[in-house]
């Protein structure tokens, strides 16, 4: 049985659906105030057990269920006016509490979701509190490793249907592909990103769940992306082309941040050895998101 945090979120809800579909039982950890819109169709699934972590003591779920794997996807980025406590609680305190309880109860593996923001020992100033909280968690997980197998997933630029409008790809697709706004302000777009589609990410997590169940491990890191980077500029221009959009792309309207990450891509060799490979191209991924909008995106469904 699996404990999954962030089950009502973008990545967590997609992962939950696939875990249940393949026969896993899942204890989905959420807040009592969390919207269950993304998992509405799964609420009556016999393999799903929902826990309101702000009401129920986390220790109780380990008393009720026999858990072998914990997957931590819950994330608080700290955008807007999010208080520091909420950032630390989601990104550090909750996963540490679950990991410690899991260690005491014989859980085999804890799978953590990390970010390319933290590669190379840097702390990304745009999301500094988020970045620091994720780094702190890794330090503590390393201390627990050995008694609890740790898999750290360094996730590149995740995108897919149904993401938050605050995320870059979703924002651009809405403005350029669906609303076809007259103009969108952008940086010069020379940053290189490894854009990885949601479905490919979920399949990688399924491979890692099986790996964590079958292997005796201490602390292992898996980078998760396509293994290739492309300029943000090129990605945005693909959106405009596929949507046949008249939107003017304002490259250079926004200055780069002083510590802008100019290039990142994953080394996926370790995941490939487990039999995983990315399957969704950037063009296909963009079309799938546009298709999500139904009649609003009808004009792009048969675009070349």
What is the per-residue pLDDT across 248-292, written as a single tens digit (0 to 9) for each?
A: 999 999 999 888 899 999 999 999 999 999 999 999 999 999 998
Whether the predicted pLDDT of 25 surpasses 50: yes
What is the predicted pLDDT for the residue at 300? Answer: 44
What is the per-residue pLDDT across 226-237, written as a single tens digit (0 to 9) for each?
A: 999 999 999 999
DSSP structure string for 102-154? HHHTT--EEEEEEEGGGGGG---GGGHHHHHHHHHHHHHHHHHBTTBEEEEEE
Per the domain annotation, does 139 fall within a domain? Answer: yes
What percent of the chain lies above the pLDDT cut of 90?
74
Same-domain pairing of 120 and 22: yes
How many beta carbons lie within 10 A of that of residue 23, not counting itself?
A: 7
pTM beyond 0.85: the answer is yes
Q: What domain range includes position 291?
A: 168-192+228-265+280-300
What the block records as the tokens of 70 is: 């914990």
Interhelix angle 232-242/282-292, nearest 10 degrees: 50
Same-domain pairing of 103 and 180: no
Do strands 149-155 and 219-224 pair parallel, antiparallel, or not at all (unpaired)? parallel
Whether the predicted pLDDT of 222 surpasses 60: yes
CATH classification of the domain holding 232: 3.90.25.10
SS3 content of the chain, % helix, strand, coil (to 5): 45, 20, 35
What is the per-residue pLDDT across 61-106, written as a single tens digit (0 to 9) for each?
A: 999 999 999 999 988 776 666 778 788 888 889 999 999 999 999 9
What is the predicted pLDDT for the residue at 71? Answer: 98
Please tell me the number of Cα atoms within 13 Å of 43 on its side-chain side: 9
Rounded mean pLDDT, 42-57 = 93
Among the three residues 155, 179, 204, which one is the final residue of a domain in this structure?
155
Nearest to 264 by CA among 188, 186, 191, 197: 191
> Positive or negative, the Cα torsion across 101, 107, 108, 114?
negative
What is the predicted pLDDT for the residue at 134? Answer: 84
Whether the predicted pLDDT of 29 surpasses 70: yes
Q: What gap in Å lies between CA 274 and CA 27, rounded to an integer? A: 26
Rounded mean pLDDT, 111-118 = 89
Rounded mean pLDDT, 9-14 = 96
Share the mean pLDDT of the chain: 91
Same-domain pairing of 88 and 134: yes
Do strands 192-193 and 230-231 pair parallel, antiparallel, or not at all (unpaired)? antiparallel
- Catalytically annotated residue among 65, 77, 124, 130: 130
Same-domain pairing of 11 and 145: yes
Q: What gap in Å lies between CA 22 and CA 147, rounded to an integer? A: 28
Nearest to 2 by CA among 24, 29, 30: 24
Q: Active-site residue 77, yes or no?
A: no
């Amino acid at each position: 049985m699996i404990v999954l945090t962030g089950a009502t979120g973008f990545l967590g809800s997609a992962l939950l659906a696939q875990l249940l579909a393949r026969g896993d039982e899942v204890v989905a950890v959420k807040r009592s105030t969390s919207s269950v819109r993304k998992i509405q169709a799964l609420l009556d699934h016999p393999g799903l057990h929902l826990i309101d972590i702000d009401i129920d003591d986390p220790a109780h779920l380990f008393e009720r269920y026999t858990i072998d794997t914990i997957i931590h996807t819950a994330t608080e980025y700290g955008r807007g006016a999010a208080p520091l406590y909420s950032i630390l609680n989601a990104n550090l305190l909750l996963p540490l509490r679950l990991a410690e309880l899991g260690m005491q109860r014989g859980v085999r593996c804890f799978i953590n979701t990390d970010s390319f923001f933290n590669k190379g020992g840097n702390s990304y100033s745009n999301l500094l509190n988020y970045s620091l909280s994720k780094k702190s968690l890794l330090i503590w997980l390393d201390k627990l490793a050995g008694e609890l197998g740790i898999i750290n997933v360094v996730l590149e630029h995740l995108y897919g249907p149904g993401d938050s409008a605050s995320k870059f790809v979703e924002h651009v697709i809405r403005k350029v592909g669906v609303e076809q706004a007259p103009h969108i302000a952008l940086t010069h777009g020379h940053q290189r990103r490894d854009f990885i589609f949601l479905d490919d990410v979920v399949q990688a997590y399924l491979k890692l769940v099986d790996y964590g169940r079958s292997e005796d491990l201490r602390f292992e890191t898996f980078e998760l992306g396509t293994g290739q980077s492309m300029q943000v500029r090129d990605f945005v221009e693909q959106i405009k082309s596929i949507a046949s959009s008249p939107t003017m792309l304002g490259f250079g309207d926004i200055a780069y941040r002083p510590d802008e990450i100019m290039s990142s891509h994953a080394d996926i060799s370790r995941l490939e050895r487990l039999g995983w490979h990315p399957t969704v191209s950037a063009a296909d991924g963009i079309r799938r998101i546009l298709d999500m909008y139904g009649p609003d995106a009808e004009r792009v469904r048969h675009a070349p």
